[in-house]
Chains A and B, each alone.
Chain A
Amino acid sequence: MAKIHKTGVLLAGLLTAGMSSAALAGGPVDEKLVIDEELEIITRTAAPEGHPLDEVISGWHYRTKETRELEADSFQNPGMLYVERGEEIWNTVEGDAGKSCASCHGDGEEFLKGIGANYPKWNADANKPFNLELQVNQCREANMQAEPYKFDAADQKALVTYIKHQSIGMPVEIDLTQGEMQEWWKKGEETYYTRTGQLNLACATCHEDYNGNYIRADHLSQGNVNGFPTYRLKQSAMVSLHNRFRGCIRDTRAEFPAAFSDELMALEVYVTWRGTGLSVETPAVRQ
């Protein structure tokens, strides 16, 4: 496998040098993402220590010009509709306690700045890492006395999109020193490199060994998650990270774990770490 990996890199390198268009090889384009001509997004950065690759690259670089342009214009980006819906939810009272998110946390734009860039994080009470969805549900049950959201409920996706969007442009950085985060990271790494399904593919097969190459007519990215929830053209809607995890595993023709299961939470910790230093792009636009 190591051998194939090197050949792939070499081939991509030759094509880049020879044709000055990495896009033709399925690799990342040499462009900069600046949203509304003012917000510079870090879409390429040096990988954190211990990362198998030298550079981490946002999936934005692997998309066509039209898709990249959608993300660069916050008005044209359809994901912004869900940000607006999320803001409404933030300010809407729900549950027996008669509270909204804003009742305790105040103005979302102020309170939430930077928070989404640091999730998932260790939750000592639950003794496991929490992502934003789990954090929101805990808050709804404990503080609002409202029903927790079912996985991928429209309001869950919109609220999480809104929360994460408040950190747009800020670099992803999760704290692995808290609680048992190291163990969860390790478990996620195992999952990442374990081949699964009838197609016998690990996450690493496509997103580490073959990123920059084609899978059928599609470009394989590094599979970074800094843009989730992401607006996917295929669904014409927001797609949550655990929905994408499950879709990817399903496509290897394997049984896929439940959303927010320990296995997928560990994978979220590990994959989020792999994109350390990339800006939050939520809502990113992908194919």
Chain B
Amino acid sequence: MSLTRREALGLTAGAAAFITFGGQLAYAAAAETEEAIKAFSGGSMPASGKISLDAPEIAENGNTVPVSVSVDSPMTADNYVESVLILAEGNPSPAVATFHFTAMSGEAAAKTRIRLAKTQNVIAVAKMSDGTTFMDKKEVKVTIGGCGG
């Protein structure tokens, strides 16, 4: 948890440094990402563990990046994963998708394909039926094509 928090603070500081060179976008994205996480978790920063996010280290093209999540949970009627929020903190808007599970899902696992505007962190936050939240994060490097595209 402390690591996550330090990373989040580091991000904000980096973005603040960037702002003096004349860009407000980077700051907005980092702050917006943190806001989105807190809105989802109910105010606190989620703990690490339980959720695992899988994404390629290098994406050949940012238009179609496979990401999958799985959360460690018994998935019974009174102990299951309610939802998983996916965020991309370097996109113009961090929201990507939210998966909603039920006990009938059997497992809290899902996969989709997403757009990443540039190299950045992808974040997944799981909310359990008891309200606790967990988070994982992966950096995905987005490569540029060979001939100017």
A251 within 8 A of B: yes
Q: How far is the CA of A236 from the CA of B56 in the complex (A)?
A: 18
A196 within 8 A of B: no
Q: How far is the CA of A181 from the CA of B60 in the complex (A)?
A: 37
A180 within 8 A of B: no
The smallest C-beta distance from B55 to any residue of chain A, in angstroms, reads 9
Find out whether the CB atom of B147 lies under 8 angstroms from the CB atom of A233: no
The smallest C-beta distance from A86 to any residue of chain B, in angstroms, reads 21
B146 within 8 A of A: yes
Given A218-B143, A287-B145, are A64 and B56 neighbors across the interface (CB < 8 Å)?
yes
Given A66-B66, A217-B143, A218-B143, are A287 and B60 neighbors across the interface (CB < 8 Å)?
yes
B98 within 8 A of A: no
Residues of A within 8 A of B144 (CB): 216-218
24 contacts between A and B (CB under 8 A): A64-B56, A65-B56, A66-B56, A66-B66, A206-B146, A216-B144, A216-B145, A216-B146, A217-B146, A218-B60, A218-B143, A218-B144, A220-B146, A233-B60, A233-B63, A233-B64, A234-B61, A234-B149, A235-B63, A247-B147, A248-B147, A252-B147, A287-B61, A287-B145
A154 within 8 A of B: no
Residues of A within 8 A of B58 (CB): 64
Residues of B within 8 A of A236 (CB): 63-64
B131 within 8 A of A: no
The smallest C-beta distance from B116 to any residue of chain A, in angstroms, reads 12
Of B64, B65, B148, B149, chain A has the most CB atoms within 10 Å of the CB of B64
B16 within 8 A of A: no
Instruction: Please classify the interface of chain B as helix (H, G, I), strand (E, B), loop, or mixed, using the class held by over half of its residues.
Output: loop
Chain A residues near B (Cβ < 8 Å):
63-67, 70, 78, 206, 215-218, 220, 233-236, 247-248, 251-252, 287
The smallest C-beta distance from B64 to any residue of chain A, in angstroms, reads 4
Known: A216-B145, A220-B146, A233-B64. 15 other contacts (CB 8 A): A63-B60, A67-B60, A70-B66, A217-B143, A217-B145, A217-B146, A218-B60, A218-B144, A218-B145, A236-B63, A251-B147, A251-B148, A251-B149, A287-B60, A287-B61
